[in-house]
Amino acid sequence: MPGPEPAGTTPPPPLPDPTVGDVIHLDGRRAAHHERQEPTVGAAYGPEPTPEELLAETIQALYLKRQRSLADPETAEAYDIALQAMLLMLDGAMVRAGLPEEHHRTLRGMVEAARQVPHIL
């Protein structure tokens, strides 16, 4: 029977299949990364990842697919600039295009959560 793969050779997680409807919920109902409870004794696979960790893994996989990484400070900075632009567009959509305030708040929260991805990795 083959042994485990050497450290650092695990491929990134697969991208979600859009036909299956995978959704990463970022509604803040789960504990923050540093507040997670440790797994119970005998837990087979450890604690389940938080929605934020799943999002971080998914976004990092997108970057790794293009031979980039959010661990690279320049790439992380460019990622943050793009998300700042997204926040500006969301603000504009509320002011000029009539995006309801509740939707704006939800979308803004999701983008703000996505901005934390480089810090979660």
> Is it the case that residue 93 has pLDDT exceeding 90?
yes
Given a contact cutoff of 8 angstroms between Cβ atoms, the answer to whether 15 and 61 are in contact is yes
- Give the pair of three-digit tokens for residue 47: 């604690």
Read off the pLDDT of residues 18-70 as tens digits, 9 standing for 90 and up.
555 556 656 555 555 555 555 555 456 788 999 999 999 999 999 999 999 99
The whole-angstrom separation of Cα 101 and Cα 98 is: 9
- Give the pair of three-digit tokens for residue 9: 């050779």
Q: Enumerate long-range contacts of 100-106, CB under 8 Å, 24 or more apart.
A: none
Query: When comparing pLDDT for 90 and 12, which is higher?
Result: 90
Given a contact cutoff of 8 angstroms between Cβ atoms, the answer to whether 81 and 118 are in contact is no
The whole-angstrom separation of Cα 25 and Cα 114 is: 11
For the chain, domain boundaries:
45-120
- Residues contacting residue 104 through CB under 8 Å, at least 6 positions apart: 90, 91, 93, 94
Given a contact cutoff of 8 angstroms between Cβ atoms, the answer to whether 93 and 84 are in contact is no
Among 44, 48, 46, residue whose Cα is nearest residue 31: 48
**Which pLDDT score, from 0 to 100, does residue 83 have?**
97
